[in-house]
């Protein structure tokens, strides 16, 4: 089976994992520190905090900027479910905005209408590594004084006008789940811009612990959202491969693009000239749900894995029942979910594989 993704590590990994195990320091040690330093250097910041998942990163971000019961948080209607679940989990209300079908990111033109006096934050998602119109978004957030959290779970290394995603909002969250461009198996990072957020999150992820000169104390009820040393070893190892892996993903995407450019049966997302896309996923949209399902089955029979890329969150059971959304409220998210498919991309896909997969898909029609 050609897997959707299959992360690989350089040979050094075993030696470093052995080192962690024989040291007996399995948390809060040398490697987590080093991983955070690497991230800081990459983003030219001082305020990154390693956490146990992308979801933890999002949860901590909402807590840090003080999102609470009865607040509203604007989010895109098409994303991984975590983007909405964290909002529900702090007792706030997610306010969904439809996506643009050509980039699968929030349609910023629809955003302003959703702003009320309860709006406390916007979570923007760089879906599959593509980036929304950040100029428009940041202008709106300034005008209405609303905080921006970047859910950059998919977009490590993606850029908008030459600036890395994660550097635009007040806080940014990255996921290192195995389907992302860099993995620690489970893990994530929060990037903050203020010392206040940095201190709060660093403490909250460790049960509210605060260290002063000669004592430690627990100053508020936090949680355990720490990243382990083993996870950090994986992350450091993957970090050394990041640029090479993104370059490879872009090469594979180009091969797919060329094969599909004349295929009228599928719709591809477009990457604007001012965007550098890491191609965390390669997503296609078919004409009908039934064709999507048939194609998925056909690919499976040809030993090629494919899957739904992300969820139309308003139509997942919990959200549908709670907020009674209709298809026409978020038509693009609905279509991307019902007719969309992601196909294999990553360092495990050779150029030969890419031609094979693309030819299979074109032959299907």
Ligand X SMILES: *Cc1c(COP(=O)(O)O)cnc(C)c1O
Question: Rounded to the nearest whole angstrom, what is the least distance from the CB of residue 96 to ligand X in the complex?
Answer: 14
* Of 87, 149, 143, 101, the residue nearest 270 (C-alpha): 101
Residue closer to ligand X (CB basis): 60 or 358: 60
Count H helices, E strands: the chain?
A: 12, 17
79 binds ligand X (CB under 6 A): yes
- Interaction pattern, residues 159-198, with ligand X; x per rule: CB under 6 A: ----------------x-x----------x----------
Stretch near ligand X under the rule CB under 6 A, chosen from 76-84, 102-110, 231-239, 252-260: 76-84
Structure tokens at 119: 């709006």
Contact (Cβ atoms closer than 8 angstroms) between residue 201 and residue 192: yes
Q: What are the CA-CA distances from residue 295 to residues 78, 241, 258, 346 (Å)?
A: 22, 33, 19, 21
Per CB under 6 A, the list member of 32, 48, 55, 119 interacting with ligand X is 55
Residue closer to ligand X (CB basis): 295 or 313: 313
| Alpha-helix residue ranges (DSSP H) falling in 208-288 | 229-239, 242-260
Question: Rounded to the nearest whole angstrom, what is the least distance from the CB of residue 144 to ligand X in the complex?
Answer: 23
What lies within 8 Å, CB to CB, of 292 at 6+ separation is 286, 338, 339, 340, 341
Per CB under 6 A, the list member of 50, 63, 65, 82 interacting with ligand X is 82
Question: Rounded to the nearest whole angstrom, what is the least distance from the CB of residue 21 to ligand X in the complex?
Answer: 24
Question: Rounded to the nearest whole angstrom, what is the least distance from the CB of residue 128 to ligand X in the complex?
Answer: 8
Task: Report the DSSP pairing between strands 147-151 and 171-175.
Answer: parallel
Structure tokens at 359: 């030819």
Beta bridge mates, 211: 216
Q: What are the CA-CA distances from residue 135 to residues 45, 106, 154, 160, 169 (Å)?
A: 21, 13, 20, 9, 11
132 binds ligand X (CB under 6 A): no
* Of 127, 118, 132, the residue nearest 152 (C-alpha): 127
346 binds ligand X (CB under 6 A): no
83 binds ligand X (CB under 6 A): yes
- Interaction pattern, residues 3-42, with ligand X; x per rule: CB under 6 A: ----------------------------------------
- HSE-CB of 222 using CA atoms within 13 angstroms: 23
In which element (H, E) is residue 86 found?
Answer: helix 82-89
Q: Which residues of 142-169 are buried (b: 16+ CB within 10 A; e: fewer)?
A: eeeebbbbbbbbbbbbbbbeeebbbbbb
Residue closer to ligand X (CB basis): 54 or 222: 54
Query: What CA–CA distance (Å, rounded) separates 281 from 78?
Result: 14
Residue closer to ligand X (CB basis): 80 or 260: 80
Residue closer to ligand X (CB basis): 225 or 267: 225
Stretch near ligand X under the rule CB under 6 A, chosen from 51-59, 196-204, 233-241, 297-305: 51-59
Question: Rounded to the nearest whole angstrom, what is the least distance from the CB of residue 70 to ligand X in the complex?
Answer: 24
User: Looking only at residues 143 through 162 of this chain, which bind ligand X when binding is defined by CB under 6 A?
Assistant: 151, 153-154
Residue closer to ligand X (CB basis): 7 or 54: 54
Beta bridge mates, 73: 94, 121
Structure tokens at 167: 């550097």
User: Looking only at residues 99 through 128 of this chain, which bind ligand X when binding is defined by CB under 6 A?
Assistant: 125
Residue closer to ligand X (CB basis): 88 or 210: 88
Residue closer to ligand X (CB basis): 83 or 260: 83
Contacting positions for ligand X (CB under 6 A): 53-55, 79-80, 82-83, 125, 151, 153-154, 175, 177, 188
């Amino acid at each position: 089976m050609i897997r959707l993704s299959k992360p690989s590590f350089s040979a050094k990994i075993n030696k470093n994992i052995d080192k962690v195990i024989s040291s007996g320091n399995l948390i809060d040690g040398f490697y987590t520190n080093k991983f955070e330093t690497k991230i800081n250097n990459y983003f030219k910041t001082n305020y990154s905090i390693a956490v146990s998942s992308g979801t933890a990163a999002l949860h901590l971000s909402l807590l840090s900027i003080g999102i609470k019961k009865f607040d509203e948080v604007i989010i895109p209607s098409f994303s991984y479910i975590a983007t909405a679940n964290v909002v529900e989990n702090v007792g706030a209300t997610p306010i969904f905005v439809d996506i643009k079908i050509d980039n699968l990111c929030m349609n910023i033109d629809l955003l302003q209408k959703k702003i009320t006096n309860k709006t406390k934050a916007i979570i923007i998602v760089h879906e599959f590594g593509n980036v929304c119109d950040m100029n428009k978004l940041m202008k709106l957030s300034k005008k209405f004084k609303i905080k921006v959290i970047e859910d950059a779970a998919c977009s490590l290394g993606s850029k908008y006008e030459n600036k890395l995603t994660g550097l635009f909002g007040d806080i940014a969250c990255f996921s290192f789940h195995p389907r992302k461009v860099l993995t620690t198996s489970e893990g994530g990072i929060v990037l903050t811009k203020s010392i206040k957020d940095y201190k709060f999150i660093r403490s909250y992820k460790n049960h509210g612990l605060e260290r002063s000169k000669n004592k430690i104390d627990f100053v508020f009820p936090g949680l355990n959202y720490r990243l382990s040393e083993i996870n950090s070893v994986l992350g450091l190892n993957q970090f050394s491969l990041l640029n090479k892996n993104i370059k490879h993903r872009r090469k594979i995407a180009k091969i797919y693009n060329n094969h599909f450019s004349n295929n009228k049966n599928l719709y591809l997302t477009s990457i604007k000239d001012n965007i550098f896309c890491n191609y965390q996923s390669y997503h296609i949209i078919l004409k009908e749900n039934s064709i999507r399902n048939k194609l998925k089955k056909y690919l499976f029979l040809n030993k090629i894995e494919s899957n739904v890329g992300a969820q139309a969150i308003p139509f997942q059971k919990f959200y549908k029942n709670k907020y009674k959304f209709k298809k026409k409220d978020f038509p693009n998210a609905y279509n991307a979910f019902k007719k969309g498919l992601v196909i294999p991309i990553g360092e495990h896909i050779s150029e030969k594989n890419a031609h094979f997969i693309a030819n299979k898909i074109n032959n299907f029609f």
